[in-house]
Amino acid sequence: MSAGKRILYIEDNFDNRMLVRRLLEHEGFLVLEAENAHQALDLLESNTPDLILMDINMPEIDGYTLTRQIKSTSSTSQIPIIALTANVMRGDKERTLRAGCDGYIEKPIDIDTFIEQIYQYLNGKGSKQL
Ligand code: MN
């Protein structure tokens, strides 16, 4: 089910990148990583991942801005983007969805349900309901 599926994780924190990579690769996903918006946009010029996991709090260009940019570019607008963030207030969740994110996973991630959530979003069963 995960075979050949590529997931791009955009995250400035090294430890978070390592944890998520380990979980996703263990499940058989191919993981692309970017530690800032510039790296992410470079990667997206030559790769079309099946899903993007988006950190929100990043230096320089934050996840809201980057999400808007990806969603307003025709070659990348169809890629589902899931916010992965420690901003867990209700207003923050709404803000990620308004920026164009297709879903939301709270940090710290729950390693027991993380993969299940990934499959839901890959299968288009994530919802924008709050
Ligand atoms: Mn961050």
The predicted-structure confidence for 65-112, as pLDDT tens digits, reads as follows: 999 999 999 999 999 999 998 877 778 889 999 999 999 999 999 999
Distance 39 CA to ligand 1 centre (A): 14
Which residues, listed in sequence order, are joined to residue 10 by a DSSP beta bridge? Answer: 34, 54
Band (126; pLDDT cuts 50, 70, 90): low
Rounded to two decimals, the pTM is 0.93
Band (125; pLDDT cuts 50, 70, 90): low
Distance 87 CA to ligand 1 centre (A): 10
Q: What digits encode the pLDDT tens for the residues 1-41?
A: 677 899 999 999 999 999 999 999 999 999 999 999 999 99
Distance 127 CA to ligand 1 centre (A): 24
Question: Of all helices (H) and strands (E), which one includes residue 10?
Answer: strand 6-10
Average pLDDT over residues 116-127: 83
Tokens of 27: 């499940």
Distance 58 CA to ligand 1 centre (A): 4
Measured CA to CA, the distance from residue 16 to residue 70 in angstroms comes to 22
Band (129; pLDDT cuts 50, 70, 90): very low
Left (φ > 0), alpha (ψ -120 to 50) or beta: where does 113 sit?
Answer: alpha
Tokens of 16: 């978070």
Q: Which domains does the chain have, with CATH numbers?
A: 6-122 (3.40.50.2300)
List phi, psi (to 5°) of 24: -70, -40
Locus of tokens 């990348």: 76
Distance 56 CA to ligand 1 centre (A): 6
Distance 20 CA to ligand 1 centre (A): 13
Measured CA to CA, the distance from residue 10 to residue 52 in angstroms comes to 8
Distance 13 CA to ligand 1 centre (A): 6
Best CA proximity match to 7, nearest among 25, 40, 26, 30: 30
Average pLDDT over residues 51-77: 97
Give residue 68's pLDDT.
98
Measured CA to CA, the distance from residue 124 to residue 4 in angstroms comes to 17
